[in-house]
């Protein structure tokens, strides 16, 4: 904007096509267009058609709307599916508007003329395609990007004020970009990213592309953050937010039944080793108890809760099997001694079998 203003002060005028060309790749907020218009007025710089500029005052001869011309030239380079190709051929046949035609249509739109609105929109659909191409690969199909950009174009046609002196393509570029950016933030991800976060991510991506071209290598994270004017800590948070969530039901490969979730361990589940040890221990315990008398086995089950019951006291366990507390103590001592002897003799080999 400063460069445009300086050039306008020197020449006394700027061509509308020159302004459109200079701002084609600049993301301006809606109010910044009006601010540029006020700055040009304050500096006594007139906005005129490119044909009215004196030789040498403006850029090399070019079309009134460079962004639209670029879209027209590239319209058949990547036709895609049949439906898209038909759409591109159709809008490619619609003639571009001159500055005078835009003013006339804008006046008719202000009076509620729907036909004028249709002509304004259809004549600038190539601009939508041109801008939408820059957002491919970010999570939305190309046709959806064009559709969302067209919604922004409709809003621009409704709000365009020809009195400001700008070409419609310059004004509508902001609305188209805004509509596509919001659609990407709202619809392209499972987890929505706020618009301002998406804009910061785009700034980081542009910085990364620029550095990759300049350095001829992959730039480091701190280099990208510095180029984008973002603290490295914030950049790392933004990159983390940009990670795409993965579904646990996502197939590992095409045609396979295995899913991503099959490779992730359940930290709450019992490990196979622990389950094997428990199963073997239960089996060995059952075998050992089977070698005791009924009264000894029943007493140990009551005392230690081996049958799924709450552990009993000696007195309570003795009462269940019909003996005194002292008698129950002697039965317990004898039963434990027999189990210890069995273990010593090699009847209980749980640990050895598991280790093997």
Are residues 167 and 198 located together in one domain of the fold? no
Instruction: Identify the DSSP state of 14.
Output: E
Are residues 67 and 113 located together in one domain of the fold? yes
The C-alpha R_g of the chain, in whole angstroms, comes to 39
Pick from 181, 176, 204, 203: nearest CA to 193: 181
Are residues 162 and 197 located together in one domain of the fold? no
Domain limits at 299? 274-355
With respect to residue 267, please indicate whether it lies within any of the assigned structural domains: no
Predicted local confidence at residue 115, as pLDDT: 92
Are residues 287 and 305 located together in one domain of the fold? yes
With respect to residue 150, please indicate whether it lies within any of the assigned structural domains: yes
Query: Are 128 and 134 in contact, with CB atoms under 8 Å apart?
Result: no
Predicted confidence (pLDDT) per residue in 18-71, tens digit? 666 566 555 555 556 666 666 766 666 665 555 445 444 443 333 334 444 444
Are residues 180 and 323 located together in one domain of the fold? no
pLDDT per position in the chain (356 positions), as tens? 667 677 766 666 666 556 665 665 555 555 566 666 667 666 666 655 554 454 444 433 333 344 444 443 443 344 444 567 778 888 888 888 888 888 999 999 999 999 999 999 999 999 999 898 888 767 788 888 999 999 999 999 998 888 888 888 888 998 998 898 888 877 766 677 776 777 788 889 889 989 998 998 999 999 999 999 999 999 999 888 877 777 788 888 777 788 888 888 778 877 888 888 888 888 888 888 888 899 999 999 899 888 878 899 989 988 999 999 999 999 999 999 988 887 777 644 544 554 44
C-alpha span between 164 and 276 (Å, rounded): 80
Q: What is the CATH number of the domain that holds 209?
A: 1.10.10
Are residues 233 and 306 located together in one domain of the fold? no
CA torsion 33→35→37→41, rounded to 10°?
-170
Are residues 55 and 180 located together in one domain of the fold? yes
Among candidate residues 191, 206, 228, the one where a domain is terminated: 191
Place of tokens 């315990």: 285
Are residues 345 and 211 located together in one domain of the fold? no
With respect to residue 135, please indicate whether it lies within any of the assigned structural domains: yes
Q: What is the CATH number of the domain that holds 314?
A: 1.10.10.10
User: In total, how many domains does the chain have?
Assistant: 3
Are residues 210 and 280 located together in one domain of the fold? no
With respect to residue 255, please indicate whether it lies within any of the assigned structural domains: no
Are residues 161 and 198 located together in one domain of the fold? no
Are residues 146 and 156 located together in one domain of the fold? yes
Are residues 10 and 51 located together in one domain of the fold? yes
């Amino acid at each position: 904007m400063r460069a445009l203003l300086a050039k306008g002060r020197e020449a006394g005028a700027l061509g509308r096509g020159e302004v459109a060309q200079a701002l084609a790749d600049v993301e301006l907020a809606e109010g910044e267009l009006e601010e540029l218009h006020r700055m040009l007025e304050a500096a006594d710089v007139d906005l005129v058609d490119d044909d009215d500029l004196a030789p040498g005052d403006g850029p090399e001869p070019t079309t009134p709307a460079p962004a639209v011309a670029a879209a027209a030239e590239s319209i058949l380079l990547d036709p895609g599916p049949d439906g898209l190709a038909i759409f591109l051929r159709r809008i490619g046949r619609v003639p571009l508007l001159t500055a005078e035609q835009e003013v006339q249509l804008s006046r008719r739109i202000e009076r509620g003329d729907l036909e004028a609105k249709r002509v304004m929109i259809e004549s600038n659909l190539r601009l939508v395609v041109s801008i939408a191409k820059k957002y491919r690969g970010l999570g939305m199909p190309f046709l959806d990007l064009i559709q969302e950009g067209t919604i922004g174009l409709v809003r621009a046609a409704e709000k365009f004020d020809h009195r400001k002196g700008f070409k419609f393509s310059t004004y509508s570029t902001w609305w188209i970009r805004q509509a596509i950016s919001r659609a990407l933030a709202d619809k392209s991800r499972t987890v929505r990213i706020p618009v301002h976060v998406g804009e910061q991510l785009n700034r980081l991506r542009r910085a990364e592309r620029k550095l990759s071209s300049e350095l001829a290598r992959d730039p480091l994270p701190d280099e990208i953050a510095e180029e984008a004017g973002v603290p490295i800590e914030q950049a790392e948070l933004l990159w983390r937010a940009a990670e795409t969530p993965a579904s646990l039901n996502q197939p590992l490969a095409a045609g396979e039944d295995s899913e991503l979730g099959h490779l992730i361990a359940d930290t709450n589940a019992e490990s196979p080793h622990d389950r094997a040890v428990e199963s073997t221990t239960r089996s060995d315990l059952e075998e050992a108890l089977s070698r005791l008398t009924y009264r000894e086995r029943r007493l140990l089950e009551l005392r230690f809760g081996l049958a799924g019951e709450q552990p009993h006291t000696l007195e309570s366990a003795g009462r269940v099997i019909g003996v005194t507390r002292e008698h129950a103590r002697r039965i317990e001592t004898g039963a434990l001694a027999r189990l210890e002897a069995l273990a010593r003799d090699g009847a209980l080999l749980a640990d050895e079998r598991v280790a093997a």
